[in-house]
């Protein structure tokens, strides 16, 4: 007899009723994930450094029936992160999902980049992930119900690129750190995974969609035939936050239109 639980399969990808923290919620990817989670019935605590933008998103999402709140803060600052975690627990009682969508890039080659500029990228893209994940993991362990930690990394973690010495180093660190965190947290029922996009539409990359030379050059390396849109990543962010990924941990999953395979 095939051993497949019908009720489990029917709710395999559901995150309804779960409490999710989404960092970088004011960015293109973070706002798409936050709204996507909300549409699926999750309770969403959004965070970022721009409180005015967070307030606008909370009003927009609430008008569509999404149960959401926000706490402004810098994910690299432990005191801010403590405030974020405390805010989520105070509002919703627990934390089941962390989806880290924050990040920073300022391309510059090693000969031009100062040590301070390099360190700023490491802090924004690597240290911040550690600080945020540590605080959330401690809360999840306290709850005793497990949880899902989903981290946005980058295809740049796997391949270097001119001018990306800081960003590549940080994202490469995120990938291997997430694997180590998964080893630390598996005994507590906490899954830790990354997904790794290549270029997708945002305020910073919009020009790439309109510069024909740059656009066509990227497309040569993308078997899927187009650059990404923020909503392209809601699916994998949901999969890694749902019961469908219960046996998936310590993974770095390409979400790049085939870039790394080409």
Structural domain contains residue 8: no
Establish if 99 belongs to a structural domain: yes
pLDDT (tens digit per residue) in 122-153: 999 999 999 999 999 999 999 999 999 999 99
The domain of 229 spans 14-253
37 falls within a domain: yes
Query: What pLDDT is recorded for position 242?
Result: 98
Confirm whether 253 is a catalytic residue: no
pTM: 0.96
- Average pLDDT of the chain, as a whole number: 95
pLDDT of residue 202: 85
Domain count for the chain, please give it.
1
Higher-pLDDT residue of 1 and 166 is 166
Per-state percent for the chain, helix, strand, coil, to nearest 5: 50, 15, 35
Q: Which of 70, 92, 167, 259 is catalytic?
A: 167
What CATH code is carried by the domain that includes residue 86?
A: 3.40.50.720
Report if residue 262 sits inside a domain.
Answer: no
Kindly state whether residue 174 falls inside one of the protein's structural domains: yes
What is the reported pLDDT for 213?
Answer: 86
Per the domain annotation, does 188 fall within a domain? yes
Q: What is the pLDDT of residue 199?
A: 86
Q: Does the residue 258 lie in any domain? A: no
Please say whether the beta carbons of 197 and 256 come within 8 A.
Answer: yes
């Amino acid at each position: 007899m095939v051993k497949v639980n019908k009720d489990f399969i029917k709710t395999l990808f559901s995150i309804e009723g779960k409490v999710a923290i989404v960092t970088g919620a004011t960015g293109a990817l973070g706002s798409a994930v936050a709204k996507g989670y909300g549409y699926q019935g999750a309770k969403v605590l959004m965070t970022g450094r721009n409180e005015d933008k967070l307030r606008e998103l909370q009003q927009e999402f609430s008008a569509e029936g999404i149960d959401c709140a926000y706490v402004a803060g810098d994910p690299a600052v432990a005191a801010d992160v403590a405030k974020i975690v405390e805010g989520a627990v105070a509002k919703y009682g627990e934390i089941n999902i962390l989806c880290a969508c924050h990040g920073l890039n300022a391309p510059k080659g090693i000969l031009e980049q100062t040590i301070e500029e390099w360190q700023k990228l490491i802090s924004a893209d690597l240290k911040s992930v550690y600080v945020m994940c540590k605080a959330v993991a401690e809360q999840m362990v306290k709850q005793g119900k497990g949880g899902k930690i989903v981290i946005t990394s980058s295809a740049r973690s796997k391949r270097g690129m001119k001018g990306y010495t800081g960003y590549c180093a940080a994202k490469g660190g995120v990938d291997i750190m997430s694997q180590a965190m998964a080893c630390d947290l598996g005994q507590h029922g906490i899954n830790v995974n990354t997904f790794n996009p290549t270029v997708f539409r945002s305020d910073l990359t919009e020009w790439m969609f309109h510069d024909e030379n740059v656009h066509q050059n990227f497309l040569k390396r993308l078997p899927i035939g187009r650059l990404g849109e923020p909503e392209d990543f809601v699916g994998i962010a949901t999969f890694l936050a749902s019961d469908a990924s219960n046996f998936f941990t310590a993974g770095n999953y390409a979400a790049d239109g085939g870039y790394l395979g080409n």
